[in-house]
Amino acid sequence: MEDEEPPRLLEVSSPEPEAGPSTSSKDQYDRPKIPLTLLTGYLGAGKSTLLDYILKEEHGYKIAVCMNDFGDTTDIEAKSLTLSDPNSQQTTTEFLSLPNGCLCCSFKDMGIAAIEEMVANAPGGIDWVMVELTGVADPGPIVRSFWANEEMGDLILDGVVCVVDSRNVQKQLAEQRDGDEINECQKQVACADVILLNKLDLVTKDQMKEVESTIRTINPTLKVHHTTHSRMPLSDLFNLRAFSDPTAITSAQQQDDDHVNEHKHDGEECSHPSHIKTESHTNGIKTVLIPLPLLNQEQYLRLNEFLESLLWESKILPSKSPSPEILRSKGYILLEDGREYVLQGVADLFELKELPDISNQAGTSDDNNGKVVFIGKGVGEEIKNALIDFVGI
């Protein structure tokens, strides 16, 4: 998938939220698409515990759970037609059917095409697919592949859920890699849409506050759940629509504001990310949030050009500034003529998608302000200033 020019995704409409297990959206040919959740998290965080819970709970969804090992994540496409049983090394498509209607499969190598084949052949049909990544996987290339595959494939990426071990995550985030590279734990937090701060029973209230501050410093767009044994309302794991719904970004900001308000009133020591030193744990991974006014058409085109230069060529910053490594981009953009766009990006792949019906989007943004968020290493004021200059706002 290393094309010379990063692919752009086709525009798809944002379906209305639906209740219950009937969750599939449709592609442009009116074929149903099955939502897929990627489950990530460092070794021992509680991913299997969460899957075990999902596979036993009565929730009404027919979920295919793939306990997966993509191995070298940069090679995902090459493996996309391989299905091999880790014990026999035989090619197989067998499932374990569970009493709550879920299917469980555990394969060593399984790519997108194999998952699609499994879903198509699943006895009785499937409402949802959940794929567990290995604890040391960098989710970025995998997220990118599933997302890029949506246009032609049968699956639609609903979101990325990350489980962390609250007792050990600060240490895991601070682990150094050769050449000061971003470590896997940092990438997992940066790429996620929902995070379970798990093992609540093993940390004090103050430790949990500090963990949450660090996590929010890396990625303030996350929806955070505090859990023990990965127990949480499962409805909060489904229908995230993280790659199509503008509330994913606006509600994240609201959540952050709520956190500040809470701080103002509870009289306890401040743990908000802007007031606590968490840099040593994040190894330079940060978020920059750039508020946007209403843009005219020309400014919108300039923003698009800015994103291409920044994400494809890392060219936009003054030459003396080190190139940022952007893991995730999100945004909500409003134009003077009333059009609204959602920006989603994973590494160099990005999409600016126009929201189909303005009247349907009422309430998507409480403050009615546009914004762009970049999460990664080396992001900061330089990007903000460069965007403001380039777009002319």
| Residues 383 and 289 sit within 8 Å (Cβ to Cβ) | no
For ligand GTP, give the closer residue by CB, 194 or 355.
Answer: 194
Q: Specify the DSSP class assigned to residue 9.
A: P
- Cβ count within 10 A of residue 344: 22
The angle, 0 to 180 degrees and rounded to 10, between the axes of the packed helices 112-121 and 139-149 is 60
Write down the residue that tokens 């599939």 correspond to: 24
Binding status of residue 139 toward ligand GTP by CB under 6 A: no
With CB under 6 A as the contact rule, the residue among 10, 78, 120, 202 that binds ligand GTP is: 202
With CB under 6 A as the contact rule, the residue among 12, 45, 160, 169 that binds ligand GTP is: 45
Q: Where are the alpha helices (DSSP H) in the chain?
A: 47-56, 112-121, 139-149, 169-174, 184-191, 205-218, 247-266, 279-282, 297-313, 381-391
Q: Can you tell me whether residue 129 is helix, strand or coil?
A: strand
Q: For residues 335 and 341, give the distance between their C-alpha atoms in angstroms, rounded to a whole number.
A: 8
> Binding pattern to ligand GTP, positions 157-196, x when CB under 6 A?
------x---------------------------------
Q: Least distance (Å) from ligand GTP to the CB of residue 353?
A: 33
With CB under 6 A as the contact rule, the residue among 10, 26, 28, 43 that binds ligand GTP is: 43
Which one of the spans 53-61, 102-110, 137-145, 223-231 is the region binding ligand GTP (CB under 6 A)? 223-231
Using CB atoms, what's the residue nearest to ligand GTP? 135
Binding status of residue 106 toward ligand GTP by CB under 6 A: no
Binding status of residue 201 toward ligand GTP by CB under 6 A: yes
Q: Please, is 384 exposed, middle or buried when counting C-beta atoms within 10 Å of its C-beta (0-12, 13-18, 19+)?
A: middle
Of 296, 47, 313, 52, the residue nearest 165 (C-alpha): 47
Binding status of residue 230 toward ligand GTP by CB under 6 A: yes
Binding status of residue 41 toward ligand GTP by CB under 6 A: yes
With CB under 6 A as the contact rule, the residue among 13, 48, 100, 106 that binds ligand GTP is: 48
- Cβ count within 10 A of residue 2: 6
For ligand GTP, give the closer residue by CB, 44 or 101.
Answer: 44
Binding status of residue 226 toward ligand GTP by CB under 6 A: no
Q: Least distance (Å) from ligand GTP to the CB of residue 209?
A: 17
Of 293-352, binders to ligand GTP (CB under 6 A) are: none
For ligand GTP, give the closer residue by CB, 27 or 69.
Answer: 69
Q: Can you tell me whether residue 353 is helix, strand or coil?
A: strand
Backbone angles phi, psi at 195, to 5 degrees: -130, 140
Q: For residues 329 and 182, give the distance between their C-alpha atoms in angstroms, rounded to a whole number.
A: 17
Q: Which residues pair with 292 in a beta bridge?
A: 370
With CB under 6 A as the contact rule, the residue among 33, 199, 216, 241 that binds ligand GTP is: 199
Backbone angles phi, psi at 380, to 5 degrees: 180, -155
Binding status of residue 198 toward ligand GTP by CB under 6 A: yes
Which one of the spans 93-101, 228-236, 310-318, 366-374 is the region binding ligand GTP (CB under 6 A)? 228-236
For ligand GTP, give the closer residue by CB, 47 or 330.
Answer: 47
**Residues in the chain, overall count:** 393
Name the amino acid, one letter, at 5.
E
Binding status of residue 108 toward ligand GTP by CB under 6 A: no
Name the amino acid, one letter, at 305.
E
Of 109-138, binders to ligand GTP (CB under 6 A) are: 135
Binding status of residue 216 toward ligand GTP by CB under 6 A: no
With CB under 6 A as the contact rule, the residue among 21, 44, 101, 380 that binds ligand GTP is: 44
Write out the residues near ligand GTP by the rule CB under 6 A: 41, 43-49, 135, 163, 198-199, 201-202, 228-230
